[in-house]
Amino acid sequence: MNNKETILNCALQLFSEKGYEAVSVQELVNMANVTKPTLYYYFGSKEGVYDQLLLKNYSQLDEILAKTCIYEPKPESYFEDIYPVLTQVTISYFIFAREKPLFYRLVLSNLYMPTSSSVYDVMARYHFKQYDKILQLFLQMSKVHPNLADKERHFTWSFLGIINTYIALYLNDTPLSLSEDFAKQLVHQFMHGIYA
Identify the structural domains of the chain with CATH numbers, from first to last: 46-195 (1.10.357.10)
pTM of this prediction? 0.92
pLDDT at 142: 95
Summarize pLDDT for 111-150 with one digit per residue, the tens: 888 888 888 889 999 988 989 999 999 999 999 999 999 9
Find the angle CA(79)-CA(63)-CA(127) to the nearest 5 degrees: 95
Residues 105/110/113/119 CA torsion (nearest 10 deg): 120
Q: Is the pLDDT of residue 57 over 60?
A: yes
Number of H helices, E strands in the chain: 9, 0
